[in-house]
C-alpha cells in the first residue's frame, strides 16, 4: 500500500501504492470463534511533553486525502490512524526488548468487547464508556452504523466492505452494535482493524458535502488536523482529551521530501526526526552515524513488473513468460536492494499464510526467453514503455537493470518516469501497458491480498488481470471455514496466477526507516503504516 495503494492499501497497503487524486489544502491560509475481549491494550500512556514536535519526511507525497474511507496510500493511511479510531486495532508485543506491531492479532479499541455467534456470521460489539469524538460527542452505536453505511459507498472503502461480506450493521442500543455477515469470514476482525473502517462523527460529517472529509476530520483519534497542503506538508496537533491517553508529543509534522538524498541530509542535520524509504544502498553508511538509527525490517511488501494483457504484445502469454525468464532476481537483490530484500517466488509474499512457490519454474534463462519470443512471433523483439514512479529510486534502478537484460533478447525498454500523481492516474485507470509496482497487504492474508490485486474486480488490479478460474477459487476460499481446505484453494490460486504470468516477479523488500537517536517509540508494523501516537522524544 500500502501501502505501498487499498482495493492496495491496500499497496498497496499494496503497492503499491496508489488511488485517489490530490485534494486542495484544508487551510490554504495558515480472530473468529466465540471471542470476548474486555480491556484496551494499546494506550499511548504518558502525559504530553509540552512543546515537543516530531517531524517525519515522507517520499510518496504529503497524502492524497484525510478521508479514511477513501484512503489508498500509506501516507493517507497514517493520517487516518492519527485522526480516527476503529472498533478493534492491531496488537503490539515485546520481542527481544523491542515493541513490534502484530497485524495478525486484534485487541479492543472503541469496542471494549465482542461476541461471535456459533455459526460465525453474527458479531456483537459493546462500545466502551468514555470514548469521545474530538467534537466532544460520545462515540456511540449511531456513529458506528453511520460510518459503515458511509464506507460501503466509497470506491476504496467499498471494496473492503464487500470483501468483508457485511450484510447489515444494526444498532441494538447506544452501546451495542450487531454485524451480520453473508457467510463466515475468518478475516473479519482483522479487516475491522484497518483504517478503512474508521469510525466517523456523524454530527460533523453528515450534513457536509460528500468530499468534506477529504480536507477535514471528524474522528476520535489522538491527533487533530491543524493544516494540510497535499503538495508539501500536513500538521497534526495532539488531542489532549484523547480517551486513550494524550500523545507524548504536542505536534507531528509530515513533510513531502521526494529526493532520498534530501531526506537523509535532513535526518543527519536533525531537521527531520524520521525519514521513510531510505535507499537500501545507504543502509550501511547511515548505520555508522552516531545520531541515526536504521530500522530495516522484513515486511510483506512485494515488488513486481506488471504487464497488461489488453496491450500488445503483452496479450501473448509467451511474451509475458519470456519477460520472466530475463529477470535475474539475485542480481536485483544485490545491485538494487543491496541485500535488503529476498526473492519473490509467488504472487504473494513468502511471509503470507498459505504461500507456495509450486508451479514457479522461472529462473534466469535468456535463451529460454528468446525461444518463447520466437514462438510468440516476436523473434526480432519489440519496443515498450515501462511506467516508473519518479519518487522511488529503486524503481529507476530496477528499470535500468531490466533494460540491459531485455536488450539480450532484442527487446527495447523505454523508461517512462512520471511524477507520483501521474503514476497513480496511469495505473489506476489501467493505461500503463507495463509498470513497476509494489504492494503491501494491510492484512497479511491471501484473501485480502488477492481481493485487491488479482481478483478481476479488485480495486488494485492494475494489469486488468481477468481469470474466471482465479475468481472462482477466491470466491470459494473466502467462505471456506476449514483452514486446511482454504489453504489448498489459495495454493491453487498462486499456481494459476504464476501460470498466467500477469506479473514478472522481482523481490520482497524490507521497510527501511531512518530515525534520529533522540526519537523513541517507533513501532514497525507489517502493514508499513506509522502510528504517530507512540512517537516521542
CA–CA gap between residue 139 and residue 128 (Å, rounded): 9
Residues 402 and 483 in one domain: yes
Output the pLDDT for position 63: 92
Residues 246 and 323 in one domain: no
Quick one: pLDDT band at residue 9, thresholds 50, 70, 90? very low
Quick one: pLDDT band at residue 421, thresholds 50, 70, 90? confident
Task: Determine, yes or no, domain membership for 291.
Answer: no
Output the pLDDT for position 112: 98
Residue 31 pLDDT > 70, yes or no? no
CA–CA gap between residue 306 and residue 241 (Å, rounded): 46
Mean pLDDT to the nearest integer, 152-160: 87
CA–CA gap between residue 40 and residue 283 (Å, rounded): 36
Domain count, the chain: 2
Average pLDDT for the chain: 89
Task: Determine, yes or no, domain membership for 407.
Answer: yes
Task: Determine, yes or no, domain membership for 180.
Answer: yes
What is the domain range of residue 312? 299-509
**Residue 50: CB partners within 8 Å, gap ≥ 6?**
250
Residues 116 and 258 in one domain: yes
Quick one: pLDDT band at residue 27, thresholds 50, 70, 90? very low
Task: Determine, yes or no, domain membership for 308.
Answer: yes
Task: Give the tens place of pLDDT for each residue, 355-398.
Answer: 999 999 999 999 999 999 999 999 999 999 999 998 777 888 99
> Where residue 203 sits, what CATH number does that domain have?
3.40.190.10
Task: Determine, yes or no, domain membership for 48.
Answer: no
Task: Determine, yes or no, domain membership for 498.
Answer: yes
Output the pLDDT for position 380: 94
Residues 264 and 369 in one domain: no
Residues 363 and 319 in one domain: yes
Residues 101 and 239 in one domain: yes
Pairing of strands 503-516, 274-275: antiparallel
Output the pLDDT for position 526: 87
Residue 30 pLDDT > 60, yes or no? no
Output the pLDDT for position 479: 82
Residues 248 and 100 in one domain: yes
Task: Say if residues 508 and 343 touch (Cβ distance below 8 Å).
Answer: yes
Quick one: pLDDT band at residue 103, thresholds 50, 70, 90? confident
Quick one: pLDDT band at residue 1, thresholds 50, 70, 90? very low
- As a whole number of Å, the CA-based R_g of the chain is 23
Residue 25 pLDDT > 70, yes or no? no
Residues 188 and 265 in one domain: yes
Task: Give the tens place of pLDDT for each residue, 500-534.
Answer: 999 999 999 999 999 999 999 999 998 889 999 99
Quick one: pLDDT band at residue 24, thresholds 50, 70, 90? very low
Cα torsion at 401, 506, 357, 340 (round to 10°)?
Answer: 100
Q: Which of 8-17, 187-196, 310-319 has the lowest mean pLDDT?
A: 8-17
Mean pLDDT to the nearest integer, 249-257: 96
Residues 444 and 489 in one domain: yes
Residues 502 and 408 in one domain: yes
Mean pLDDT to the nearest integer, 179-196: 94
> Regarding predicted confidence, which is higher, 491 or 34?
491
Residue 177 pLDDT > 70, yes or no? yes
Mean pLDDT to the nearest integer, 57-74: 92
Mean pLDDT to the nearest integer, 21-36: 35
Quick one: pLDDT band at residue 32, thresholds 50, 70, 90? very low
Residue 7 pLDDT > 70, yes or no? no
Task: Determine, yes or no, domain membership for 282.
Answer: no
Quick one: pLDDT band at residue 92, thresholds 50, 70, 90? very high
Mean pLDDT to the nearest integer, 297-304: 90
Mean pLDDT to the nearest integer, 140-169: 93
Residues 244 and 387 in one domain: no
Quick one: pLDDT band at residue 440, thresholds 50, 70, 90? confident
Mean pLDDT to the nearest integer, 285-312: 94
Quick one: pLDDT band at residue 298, thresholds 50, 70, 90? confident
Quick one: pLDDT band at residue 423, thresholds 50, 70, 90? very high
What DSSP string describes 70-103?
A: T--SHHHHHHHHHH---SEEEEEEEETTEEEEEE
Residue 163 pLDDT > 70, yes or no? yes
Task: Determine, yes or no, domain membership for 292.
Answer: no
Task: Say if residues 450 and 457 touch (Cβ distance below 8 Å).
Answer: no
> Regarding predicted confidence, which is higher, 60 or 169?
169
- State pTM to two decimals: 0.77
Mean pLDDT to the nearest integer, 421-430: 93
Quick one: pLDDT band at residue 38, thresholds 50, 70, 90? very low
> Regarding predicted confidence, which is higher, 170 or 16?
170
Quick one: pLDDT band at residue 351, thresholds 50, 70, 90? confident
> Where residue 483 sits, what CATH number does that domain have?
3.10.105.10
Output the pLDDT for position 393: 74
> Regarding predicted confidence, which is higher, 73 or 453?
453
Output the pLDDT for position 60: 80
Residues 346 and 263 in one domain: no
Mean pLDDT to the nearest integer, 185-190: 92
Cα distance from N-terminal residue to C-terminal residue, the chain: 28
Cα separation values, 151 from 15, 100, 229, 259, 444, Å: 22, 29, 24, 34, 22
For 38, counting Cβ atoms within 10 Å of its Cβ (0-12 exposed, 13-18 middle, 19+ buried), the class is exposed
Amino acid at each position: 500500500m500500502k501501502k505501498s495503494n487499498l482495493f492496495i492499501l491496500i499497496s498497496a497497503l499494496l503497492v503499491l501504492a496508489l488511488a485517489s487524486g490530490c485534494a486542495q489544502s484544508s487551510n490554504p491560509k495558515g480472530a473468529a470463534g466465540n471471542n470476548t475481549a474486555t480491556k484496551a491494550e494499546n494506550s499511548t500512556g504518558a502525559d504530553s511533553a509540552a512543546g515537543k514536535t516530531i517531524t517525519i519526511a515522507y517520499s510518496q507525497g504529503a497524502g492524497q486525502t484525510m478521508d479514511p474511507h477513501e484512503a489508498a496510500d500509506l501516507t493517507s493511511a497514517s493520517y487516518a490512524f492519527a485522526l480516527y479510531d476503529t472498533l478493534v486495532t492491531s496488537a503490539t508485543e515485546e520481542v527481544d526488548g523491542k515493541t513490534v506491531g502484530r497485524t495478525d492479532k486484534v485487541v479492543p479499541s472503541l469496542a471494549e468487547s465482542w461476541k461471535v455467534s456459533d455459526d460465525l456470521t453474527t458479531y456483537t460489539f459493546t462500545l466502551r464508556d468514555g470514548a469521545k469524538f474530538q467534537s466532544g460527542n460520545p462515540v456511540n452505536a449511531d456513529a458506528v452504523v453511520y460510518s459503515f453505511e458511509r464506507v460501503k459507498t466509497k470506491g476504496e472503502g467499498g471494496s473492503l466492505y464487500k470483501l468483508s461480506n457485511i450484510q447489515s450493521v444494526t444498532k441494538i442500543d447506544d452501546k451495542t452494535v450487531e454485524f451480520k455477515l453473508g457467510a463466515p469470514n475468518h478475516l473479519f476482525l482483522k479487516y475491522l482493524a484497518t483504517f478503512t473502517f474508521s469510525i466517523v462523527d456523524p454530527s460533523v460529517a453528515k450534513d457536509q458535502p460528500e468530499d468534506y472529509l477529504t480536507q477535514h476530520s471528524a474522528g476520535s483519534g489522538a491527533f487533530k488536523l491543524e493544516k494540510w497542503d497535499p503538495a508539501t506538508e500536513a500538521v497534526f496537533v495532539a488531542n489532549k482529551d484523547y480517551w486513550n491517553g494524550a500523545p507524548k508529543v504536542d505536534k507531528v509534522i509530515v513533510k513531502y521530501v521526494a529526493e532520498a538524498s534530501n531526506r537523509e541530509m535532513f535526518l543527519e542535520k536533525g531537521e527531520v526526526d524520521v525519514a521513510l524509504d531510505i535507499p537500501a544502498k545507504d543502509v550501511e553508511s547511515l548505520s555508522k552515524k552516531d545520531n541515526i538509527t536504521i530500522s530495516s525490517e522484513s515486511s510483506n511488501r512485494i515488488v513486481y513488473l506488471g504487464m497488461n494483457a489488453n496491450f500488445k504484445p503483452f496479450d501473448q502469454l509467451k511474451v509475458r513468460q519470456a519477460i520472466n525468464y530475463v529477470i535475474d532476481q539475485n542480481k536485483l537483490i544485490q545491485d538494487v536492494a543491496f541485500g535488503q530484500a529476498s526473492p519473490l517466488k509467488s504472487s504473494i509474499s513468502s511471509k503470507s499464510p498459505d504461500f507456495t512457490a509450486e508451479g514457479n519454474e522461472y529462473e534466469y534463462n535468456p535463451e529460454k526467453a528468446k525461444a518463447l519470443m520466437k514462438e510468440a512471433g516476436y523473434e526480432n523483439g519489440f519496443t515498450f514503455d515501462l511506467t516508473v514512479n519518479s519518487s522511488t529510486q529503486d524503481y529507476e534502478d530496477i528499470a535500468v537493470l531490466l533494460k540491459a537484460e531485455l536488450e539480450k533478447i532484442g527487446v527495447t525498454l523505454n523508461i517512462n518516469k512520471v511524477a507520483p500523481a501521474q503514476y497513480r492516474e496511469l495505473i489506476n485507470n489501467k493505461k500503463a501497458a507495463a509498470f513497476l509496482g509494489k504492494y503491501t497487504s494491510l492484512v497479511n492474508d491471501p484473501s485480502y491480498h488477492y481481493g485487491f490485486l488479482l481478483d478481476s474486480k479488485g480495486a488494485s488490479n492494475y494489469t486488468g488481470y481477468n481469470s474466471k478460474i482465479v475468481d472462482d477459487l477466491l470466491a470459494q476460499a473466502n467462505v471456506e471455514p476449514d483452514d486446511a481446505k482454504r489453504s489448498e484453494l489459495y495454493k491453487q490460486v498462486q499456481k494459476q496466477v504464476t501460470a498466467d504470468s500477469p506479473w514478472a516477479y522481482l523481490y520482497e523488500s524490507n521497510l527501511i526507516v531512518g530515525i534520529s537517536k533522540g526519537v523513541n517509540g517507533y513501532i514497525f508494523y507489517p502493514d508499513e503504516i506509522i502510528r504517530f501516537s507512540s512517537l516521542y522524544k
